[in-house]
Amino acid sequence: MALRTLGKFCAQSMSHYLRTPWGAGITLSRLSTLVQPDIAQETLAESDTVHSGVVDQPRLLDPLKHPDYFRVHELFTIRDLFDARVHLGHKEGSLDNRMRPFIFGSRLGHLVFDLDITGYHLRQALNFIAHTAFNDGLVLFVYRGAQNAQLVQQTAKECGEFAHTRFWRGGIFTNANKQLGVSTRLPDLCIFLNTLNTILTQHVAVRDSAKMCIPTVGIVDSNCNPNLITYPVPGNDDTPCAVELYCRLFKAAILRGKEERKRVLEEQAKEQAKVQ
């Protein structure tokens, strides 16, 4: 009931959007789909209620069988994405045809993402990130550009992971032993806050990750190619407030996975101590 009330409130509060250049010509009924509560969220909330108390034990033993073991659906709402301007894409002329399924429409020559689709893909990505951290995976944040480089580095530092925000030399993954001189552990997951080196060229690390079968999570703007990204998240990758939201969500997912891993290991240690 609370989620439905929130959805109605957001739909009413966003009526001002229709009076802006971006919202001109868009009906409120269609726009309201951007802020309606996700059906999956209600289902997951009911699932969490059912799996309470003693019934949580099977869920603990096999987290992969639970639809949202780390409750990543709680981390954001569609309204959060809208407020962070995640829905704003590039101009129509720069659209990559492989991004058409994620586009809501256009206004004044600029593309607008469908936030319902973005929210679904973002939750899938956060769930995978949390599971990677839960299994003690090594996560590498990758970003090319000076605007948000410090933010990305700080995010990686706060969650105990790694970041690369400078020029990427080709072959760091595919020829790591010769370039680095020692046997090096490659990351278990690469998170791309943007997937382009320049307006026309894709980040070299995207290709290298695909060659080495390293799973990737990537923010793909309207001018990007999502095909080589394991978990593409369609959305704005330029605006600082959008990048800040992505960093906050990715950090929260990693920390939830690590905290759960720590809790499980402590419980196992206690059980072993009792047996001995």
pLDDT in tens, 158-169: 999 999 999 998
Reply yes or no on whether the pLDDT at 102 is more than 90: yes
User: What was the pLDDT predicted at 201?
Assistant: 86
Task: Give the total number of structural domains in the chain.
Answer: 1
* 135 is a domain residue: yes
* 114 is a domain residue: yes
More confident of the two residues 92 and 16: 92
Confidence label for 61 from pLDDT (cuts 50, 70 and 90): low
* 242 is a domain residue: yes
CB-count burial class (<10 Å; 0-12, 13-18, 19+) for 18: middle
The span from the first CA to the last CA of the chain, in angstroms, equals: 49
Confidence label for 275 from pLDDT (cuts 50, 70 and 90): confident
User: What was the pLDDT predicted at 177?
Assistant: 83
Provide the domain limits for residue 263: 88-275
Task: CATH number of the domain at 112, please.
Answer: 3.40.50.10490
The secondary structure of residue 67, as a DSSP letter, is: T
* 54 is a domain residue: no
* 253 is a domain residue: yes
> Could you give the CA distance from residue 214 to residue 36 in angstroms, rounded to a whole number?
35
Rg over CA atoms, the chain? 20
> Could you give the CA distance from residue 48 to residue 30 in angstroms, rounded to a whole number?
31
Reply yes or no on whether the pLDDT at 10 is more than 70: no
Q: Determine the residue type at 228.
A: L
